[in-house]
Structure 1
Amino acid sequence: MVITHHGGQCFKVTFGDLTLVFDPISKNGTLPGIRFGADIALISRNHPDMNGSSEISSGGKELFVISGPGEYERGGVTVQGFFTKSEYGLPKGETEAANTVYAVKLEGMTLVHLGALAEPALSQEAREAIDDIDILFVPVGGDGVLDAADAAKLSTILEPKIIIPMHWHGMGEPKSLEAYIKEEGGTAETVDKLTIKKKDTTDKDGAIMVLTA
């Protein structure tokens, strides 16, 4: 499995012949829209910074788009989506919006992407369903999503083997990534991409991996 960061909350996950993308950025987003193909797209929040599935090429195949709570399966990938709340990019007069937290199982691993989550807690349903997290994608930028302190609090509760911070590149409060790493003890590894297998996670305990965009 290879994971790359494309700004904001957008991550491409490639495994075998399949490519999955979390929160693709649209051409109307704050950051440049994505320019790659995928088989599966997961949208956590209906906002141009995260809902750019129309920008994805699928090589003539039908793109499988997941944009809300429920259970899904495609090409050996199983997905569970759970309703949560976001405060990111709200229109004037609104106080919250729907956000979906995704738990994705593939290649014997569990990836959890928290989307534009605004509160440092998950529903009882989600907590019961999500267990033994290999990789956690957590927003750290504030500005309508978790800030550094709340992101660290939830990361501790969920006990992932590997943590990938997001919502710090091109969005979020200045120096939010540095603040999050400090909350977590000050140690992180920075890489251009993460190439990983299940066996590589067995000795990890909340290791922070910063993926450059």
Structure 2
Amino acid sequence: MEITWYGHACFRLTERGLATVVTDPFDSKEIGFEPLKLKADILTVSQDTPGHNHISAVKGDPYTITGPGEFEIGGVFITGVQTNGHSKKETDPRNTLYVFDYNNITVAHLGNINRVPAQAEIEALGNVKIALAPVGGSFPLEKLTEVISLLEPNIVIPMMYETPASKTKVQPLKDFLKSMGIDKEPEVLPSYQIKSGSSLPEETKVVVLDYQRN
């Protein structure tokens, strides 16, 4: 399968013969980056805010998921688990964490997570191989690294951090890398391709993607 980042929390997940997923389409006027020109079979929204819910930016009449539940669409199994939003206020938008299962290659999109899930919730997510993690938002990095250590993914792909195209105030990537004990400049890839689950590293590795321009 292939994972491509389009900026902020928007990714496209593709695998031959299976449904294409696009996550968290953003409003470029609010968030920055180039306007999205994507097609999808499945569209997920983690939070009802302009950085995550610009549904009209995605073409192809996708099956749209905006909250928790279990789904099977086009050979892809999806589990959505609700977490809280930016704070504990009931008026704040809720956040949904999604796990996508592509033939046992599981990708967790954490959305704008703002709390450490309980052990029972972590276990319910199953064996997460790849985590798409919001590293530049309001969630403290020590809490985010705790979530990562609980999930024990093979791969962590950062999202929602400062780039030249960002309009929102978010932290730089280097702060997250430092929290993960990485002190050298990472290789930046145009996309991440996985041939099989056995090809993934045993130890958790951070993979940095360049946001794609349309």
Q: TM-score, normalised by structure 1?
A: 0.86
CA RMSD of aligned residues (A): 2.0
What is aligned with 1:142?
A: 137
SS at match of 1:150: helix
Q: Would you say 1:115 and 2:108 are equivalent positions?
A: no
Distance 2:179 2:146 in 1: 9
Match of 1:131 among 122, 126, 135: 126
Deviation of residue 194 (structure 1)? 0.5
- Counterpart CA distance in 2 for 1:105 and 1:125 is 19
Q: Distance in 2 between matches of 1:46 and 1:123?
A: 23
For 2:142 and 2:118, the matched residues in 1 are separated by: 20
Match for 1:208 among 199, 206, 214?
Answer: 206
Task: Measure, in 1, the Cα distance between the counterparts of 2:42 and 2:161.
Answer: 24
Overall identity of the aligned pairs, in %: 30
Alignment partner, residue 8 of structure 2: 8
Q: Render the CA deviation track for 1:83-119: whole Å, top value 9, x for unaligned.
A: 101218xxxx976320000111112211111101112
Letter in 1 for 2:69: G
Contact 1:151 1:180 (C-alpha < 8 Å) held by counterparts:
no
| d(CA) in 2 for partners of 1:206, 1:29 | 33
Consecutive unaligned residues in structure 2, runs of 5 or more? none
Structure 2 letter corresponding to 1:66: I
SS of 1:87's partner is: coil
Contact 1:83 / 1:101 at 8 angstroms: preserved in 2?
A: yes
Deviation at 1:147, TM superposition (A): 3.1
* AA matched with 2:178: K
Q: Aligned equivalents of 2:45 and 2:131: distance in 1? A: 16
Could you say which residue in structure 1 is the equivalent of 2:20?
A: 19
TM-score, normalization by structure 2: 0.86
Evaluate the alpha carbon distance shift between residue 124 and residue 33 of structure 1 in structure 2; reply closer, same or farther with a 3 A threshold: farther
| Structure 1 stretches lacking a partner, 5+ long | none
In 1, the alpha carbon distance for the partners of 2:26 and 2:69 equals 22
> After superposition, what is the alpha-carbon deviation per residue over 1:137-168, rounded to whole angstroms, capped at 9, x for unaligned?
1111133xx23222212111211010011110
Instruction: State the alpha-carbon separation in 1 of the partners of residues 122 and 209 from structure 2.
Output: 26
Q: Name the CA shift for 1:172/1:84 in 2 (closer, same or farther; >3 Å).
A: farther
SS in 1 for 2:14: strand
Give the superposition deviation at 1:185: 1.0
Q: State how 1:83-102 maps to structure 2 within 5 Å.
A: 83-87=82-86, 96-102=92-98
Q: How many residues align?
A: 201
Q: Show the counterpart of 1:167.
A: 160
Question: What's the secondary structure of 2:25's corresponding residue?
Answer: coil
Question: For the Cα contact (< 8 Å) 1:24–1:33, is it kept in 2?
Answer: no
Provide the residue aligned with 1:77 in structure 2: 76
